[in-house]
Amino acid sequence: MLGKIGLIGGGYIGGVLTQEIVQRRLAREVGLTDPAPFVNPDDPPERQEVQKKQSVAKGKCLDIAEGTPTIRSDVRCVASKDYSALAGSELIINTAGVPRKARPDGTFPSREELLTINLKVTKQVAEGIKQYCPKATIISIANPLDAIVYTLDKALKPPKNKLFGMAGQLDSGRYCYFVAEAAKISVENVNAMVLGGHGDDMVPVRSTCQIAGIPVGKFLDEATLAAIEARTRKAGGEIVGLLGFGSAFVSPAWAALEMAEAIIYDKKKIIPVCAKLEGEYGVKGLFVGVPAIVGAGGVEKVIELELSAAEKEAFAKSISAVSKTCAEVDQMLAAI
Ligand code: APR
């Protein structure tokens, strides 16, 4: 159990995270921050007064706190509209920003199209962390994932083991689920990793995909696996299209908690995480999805896999997409 976990963003994912942390008793205290509802300067003054008093974070925390006697959990919940509820957090999970949302015509933006708005939010998030919990280990979920983690790194310059992104666990979970469903085998038996960037060029790594330790090719044919891997790359968008109001929020929260529990219990668990590479896989200075040992020290070691020629090529393509977005980040940060 940690002393305190801080959550930045109290929307859909932040709400599930708060609830799960309280239920699983992962810390003595959870601090939730979210500025919503925002005060709209164009609204009449009396409406603005109402908006100032309202707080999504405080409302969600009070709701959960009032349930703690029922579930017999002594985890305390604190909340704020500024970043003060983060004070003293040892672990931060960041979900601040705008998610993908279906447009009226059913299309939806790419994760990269969220960049402009979410970069501004991320600058504020970094200031909040600097002020209230500069030593915390940080797991970031906000999209575009690789670019937001890169931005936090530029702003905070933490030790490289203490800042990483959650994407690989979620994308791998999707890959495993589709394989289990097609093979009609328990999800508990399926292992697979998705690496690279958290965009449409992500790389479901076939050579890591096994059912009870047996290569997946024994259970599913080439065409089925190719279709599953294509669906995995677009799985986030599939949910955005179905929900209509936003993007996936339960599976991302659970995936981040998989990483959080590896830290809290010093599990030394191999998890695909978005980690800073300094030469591994031939990449320098970018945050990319790779398998890593996660424990009390955060990302304790990046594992370099022997990829097949096709996997290497797909990985290189994914890295070049991440690199392009980070170059845009550099330009945009200079302008805001
Ligand atoms: N500081 C803190 N929180 C902020 C800020 C800010 N500067 N700006 C916005 N937020 C809050 C919003 O008020 C909102 O409540 O971030 C929250 C985001 O929650 P949702 O809109 O419900 O989005 P969610 O589904 O939780 O996804 C959050 O994770 O998977 C990614 O693409 C997704 O980037 C998105 C993030």
Average pLDDT estimate for 88-112: 87
Which residues does residue 301 pair with via DSSP β-bridges, in sequence order? 293
Q: Do domains 2-165 and 168-335 have the same CATH topology?
A: no
As a whole number, mean pLDDT of residues 52-62 equals 97
Q: What angle do CA 30, 36, 42 make, to 5 degrees?
A: 165
Query: pLDDT value at position 110?
Result: 78
Predicted pLDDT of residue 329: 92
Instruction: Please list, in sequence order, all residues whose beta carbon lies within 8 angstroms of the beta carbon of residue 136, skipping any fewer than 6 positions away.
Output: 6, 86, 89, 90, 91, 92, 129, 162
CATH fold of 168-335: L-2-Hydroxyisocaproate Dehydrogenase; Chain A, domain 2 (3.90.110)
Catalytic positions are 198
Which pLDDT value is given to residue 327? Answer: 93
The predicted model gives 161-171 an average pLDDT of 98
What is the per-residue pLDDT for 112?
A: 74
Query: Which of the listed residues 98, 100, 170 should we mutate to test ligand 1's pocket, taking the one with most ligand atoms within 8 A of CB?
Result: 98
Q: Kindly indicate the confidence band of residue 113, based on its pLDDT and cuts at 50, 70 and 90.
A: confident
Which residues have any ligand 1 atom within 6 Å of their CB?
8-14, 33-36, 56, 95-97, 99-100, 121, 124-125, 141-143, 246-247, 249, 252
Please provide the CATH number assigned to the domain covering 2-165.
Answer: 3.40.50.720
**Can you give the pTM of this predicted structure?**
0.96
Residue with the smallest CA separation from ligand 1 atom 13 is: 36
- The answer on pLDDT for 111 being more than 80 is no
* Percentage above 70 pLDDT, the chain: 100
Q: Where are the domains of the chain?
A: 2-165, 168-335
Ligand 1 centre distance from Cα of residue 121 (Å): 9
Of all protein residues, the one whose alpha carbon is nearest to atom 31 of ligand 1 is 142
Residue 110 sits at φ, ψ, to 5 deg, of -75, 165
| Span from the CA of 117 to the centroid of ligand 1 (angstroms) | 11
